[in-house]
Amino acid sequence: MRLILLAVSIMAAAAFPPARAEPIPRVDPSTYRVETVVYGFLMPWSVTVLPNGRRLVTELGGRLMALETDGSRTAIRIGSLPDVYFTKKTGLMDVAADPEFSSNGLIYLTFAYGRREANNTRLVRARLDGDALRDMRVLFSATPKAGNSHYGGRIAFLPDGTLLLTLGDGFDRREDAQDLSNHLGKLVRLDREGRAPADNPFVARAGAAPEVFSLGHRNVQGVVVDPADGSILISEHGPRGGDEINRVSPGKNYGWPIVTGGLDYTFARVSPFRDLPGYEPPLLEWTPSIAPAGLAIYDGDLFPGWRGDLLVPALKEKAVRRVRREGGRIVGQDLLLAERGERIRDVKVAPDGSILVLTDGPKARLLRLTRAR
């Protein structure tokens, strides 16, 4: 496999001129209202809303904040995260509530574990008891790699009660995204105890990691289950180009780095192949890169014309891309919040139909979007 990928890299060595981005229309900012809920987060990564309306926000440095319904803020006592690996790029990442949180109080966290020579993404579960996490348990640790890039780290729950965890290719080990014996460049599916379900697609394959659900990914930082039909959608970072939206099916190969439209950091094509038999094509691709950092599907009532549309927070583009869909088919795109010029890290739809947007950086904000009156 490594020889095949080396041949692909050689064939792609000729540099191409940078692609030009087509102008994207902006949603008229007078049609929505933006409220700053909190200012001053330090490198936040994820926001989630609990059934009781309480909101949780993670910061890369290891802090978990609770935003109460009365507007006050509380630092949740996490205790000791096992073997955490903090850098400027990673640390504490996603937070997600168990589908039965109202009865069991369980939340799930992802973070980088290990040291520079051997680290990757870890999934833990704990019980939220007031302002503290208790009974923390490690559920899964991805195959270690060196460096401090490409961790994935997003969580989504499937209708059957299992969960998906997104991972990255480790940056310097992109060819491992095609190797079933490790977790690099994969989505993994686990039960809520951290075990590989018996019906995972590669459980019976000799030498394959039993947790693998799909392969051929670069760095997946958005995952969502479409409430309309149960399909799994992800957003995926390319290098200078080749960011993707994919519809994921169990056992399928999404091509990285053999099949991609991406440009490498030298502006050379990563691969000469845009499509090949046996590899799944993206639903949508962005070149140049917008750096998609999450994914949500709008299913609220405040913006009825947006129901079913994808919301993609973009770090590099400094906006939220609204990807318009009709019957699940992509029909257009426009931009939200582009007038603010802020890097966007996460977006979630609240139960009341408002849109929560988490900006990125050392003095980040949690914004709330509602319909203009």
Active site residues per annotation: 150
End-to-end CA distance of the chain: 58
3-state SS of 172-204 is: CCHHHHHCCCCCCCEEEEECCCCCCCCCCCCCC
Q: Which two tokens stand for residue 234?
A: 């992800």
CA–CA separation, 240 and 217 (whole Å): 15
In degrees, rounded to 5, the angle at the alpha carbon of residue 245 between the alpha carbons of residues 264 and 38 is: 95
In contact, 328 and 229? CB cutoff 8 Å: yes
No. of helices (H) and no. of strands (E), the chain: 2, 24
Give the H or E element holding residue 10.
helix 2-11
* Identity of the amino acid at 372: A
Indicate left, alpha or beta for 251 from its phi (over 0: left) and psi (-120 to 50: alpha).
left
